[in-house]
Amino acid sequence: MSMHHQQTEHSGLATIGDNTVDQYYGADLTSFVGGNAVNVAVKLRTLGADVAYAGAVGPDADGERIRRTLEGEGVDTSLLVELPGITSVSKIRVEDDGERVIFFEDFATSADYQPSDADLDVLGRRRLVHIGMNPFADRIRRELRARGVLVSQDCAVSSGYADLDVAFCSAGDDRPEAERLAREAIAGGARLAVVTCGPAGSIAHDGERWWEAAAQPIEVVDTTGAGDSYIAGFVHRFAQGADVQTCMIEGSRVAALTCQHWGGFDQVPQIVREGAGA
């Protein structure tokens, strides 16, 4: 890797990976723009960050909706590309008691997106890049770290821990499993592992020290995207050089806000056509 990558002045944040249209069925018939990388990007923007999104959509109405939504939120979409195929769709059944169950998920063109060397050079000028779902995450992490970029990843949707500054994992409210995941991420090469535990809060581990933070007590409306919001809150402060505990507290705060509205970020939903769900 040429030395100019190491000397680049880094500013702003970026996310790379999945986008989707979350379609709710059953007791609710609405749809929202979502996906880990999209949710994190929008939340970072609402926190005041300069943020870009890199990913792929299909040449269809859903793809246009995702582009339009990101641009409306002030996210830089210059690295959003259109690929042959369809835009990702996730179908979520809403039970009568409000419980949400994902019963169909197709990453579609999101799973085909691989950034070019030119794209990686653009992303390499950012201070931190967060990776959502992407089959090429190993290469992306390696290339970005070589360019001096801080890298985080949602390890629930993309595999591998090497070349990671922050590995985000999820364990529900199972604390022993959370600790196991944290140790696994550190053993795999991550510098810091952060594991969200839903209502049980979150823990973090760097191979030597442990941290924990409580979840904020709230009246939950929809937990969709809460983990993505936690990531946004955490990396926003992490990129500013804040200590781990401060980052965790901010993650919990932003996640709690998201749980109080439908969808992964505050947006006007569209009505899902009757009979379109399973």
**Residue-wise pLDDT tens digits, 204-243:** 999 999 999 998 877 877 677 789 999 999 999 999 999 9
Share of the chain above pLDDT 90, in %: 72
What is the sign, positive or negative, of the torsion defined by CA atoms of 212, 216, 220, 224? negative
Q: Please give the Cα distance from 33 to 267 (Å, whole number).
A: 8
Q: How far apart are CA 52 and CA 27, in angstroms?
A: 35
pLDDT at 73 over 60: yes
Model confidence over 161-181: pLDDT tens digits? 999 999 999 998 899 999 999
pLDDT band at residue 261 under the 50/70/90 scheme? confident
Output the pLDDT for position 97.
64
Tokens representing residue 122 in the block: 């653009």
Q: What is the pLDDT of residue 258?
A: 82
- b/e map of 213-252 (b: 16 or more CB within 10 Å)? bebeeeeeebebbbbbbbbbbbbbbbbeeeebeebbbbbb
Rounded Cα distance between 134 and 142, Å, is: 14
Is 0.75 surpassed by the pTM of this model? yes
Percent of the chain with pLDDT over 70: 91
Surface-to-core class of residue 174, CB atoms within 10 Å of its CB (0-12 exposed, 13-18 middle, 19+ buried): middle
User: In sequence order, what are the beta bridge partners of 91?
Assistant: 23, 104
Matching residue, tokens 């691989």: 114
d(CA 148, CA 82): 28
Burial of 130 (0-12, 13-18, 19+ CB in 10 A): buried
pLDDT digits (tens, 9 = 90+) for 6-45: 445 788 999 999 999 988 877 668 888 999 999 999 999 9
What integer pLDDT is reported at residue 2 of this predicted model? 35
Across 80-94, 96-110, 142-156, 171-185, least confident range = 96-110
